[in-house]
Amino acid sequence: MHWECPECSCSNIDSLLRCTCGYEINGPFAELEKKHECELERQDIETVFPNSERLDKTKWAMKDLVLIVFLTVLLNFVLLNIMPNTLLLSSAYPVSMCFSVLILYFPIFLLNTKYPLKFFPTYGEKKVIKYILIGGIFCMLINFPRGTWTENPSKITIEYYTRFINYTPSGKFLFLLVLCFIGPFTEEILFRGFFYRIIRNKYNVFWGTLISTAVFILIHPLDENAVIYIGIPSLLYTYAYQKTDTILASIFLHVLNNSSWFIFAYWGMQISRAKIALF
């Protein structure tokens, strides 16, 4: 059987049952598995849609995620106990922060051997850019109040600001590198690229979003505004990944969010200190 896109007349189909030009397939090929009106077997569907990773739900195992969570917690526990106490002090916090992020690459490697992650979109880079820009605007709107609500900054903001101004120049550089680049890159691969993707393909988008977002919130420092400043951006990352089918969209969006968070938080604390100095 042969399918031809009515928009561009090609026969290229991606894993989301879309033509590579972006045309949504809602014809007989999309109905094969649901209505069983054709005698085409699953292996034949895989031949028609060679990149479709969602057709076989049996290969997506929750036990792998449970094992990875346990392994990640164990590695961080060991790291905290073998690391010299000097690295856990405020002045050397960027070093321990960097280690705790880099250690995640071991479970990421294990997951990628079984569930290879696709980085680059199979269609429409313009669509990827569109969702990054739209999501970035929302992230900045969420973080902007940190630069204006200076009367009562959160404990997390005060803690990070106090640490940051006492860092050496190299410590500040390493802190910003982890916060704005290495951290977002690593977290998106782990949480959207594996946690969300595995649960979504095993069950559905709702459970994938709910569970991956809940775990994402729990691994971050929590305060009274955690749901707003961590949970809502997490939903935006997931939405961007789901709509574009590339992890690069959520990575860039996460970078924009963390960068705007730091800029507005730092700006807000500077204003707050200036007010205190005046009075």
Domain count, the chain: 2
Residues 6+ apart with CB under 8 A from 7: 19, 21, 23
User: Could you say which of 35, 55, 75 is where a domain stops?
Assistant: 55
User: For position 100, what pLDDT does the model report?
Assistant: 79
Amino acid (1-letter code) at residue 108: I
46 and 82 assigned to the same domain:
no
Residue 13: pLDDT over 70: no
Does 170 or 84 have the greater pLDDT score?
170
142 and 158 assigned to the same domain:
yes
Structural domain that includes position 243: 58-278
Most confidently predicted of 70-74, 96-100, 135-139, 153-157: 135-139
Handedness of CA 172, 178, 182, 185 (dihedral sign): negative
Rg (CA), the chain: 22
155 and 271 assigned to the same domain:
yes
Alpha-carbon distance of 102 to 17, in angstroms, equals 35
The mean pLDDT value for 54-58 works out to 57
227 and 191 assigned to the same domain:
yes
Residue 276: pLDDT over 90: no
From residue 274, give the alpha-carbon distance in Å to each of 144, 154, 197, 262: 19, 17, 46, 18
Tell me the whole-structure pTM to 2 decimals: 0.73
User: Could you say which of 20, 38, 55 is where a domain stops?
Assistant: 55
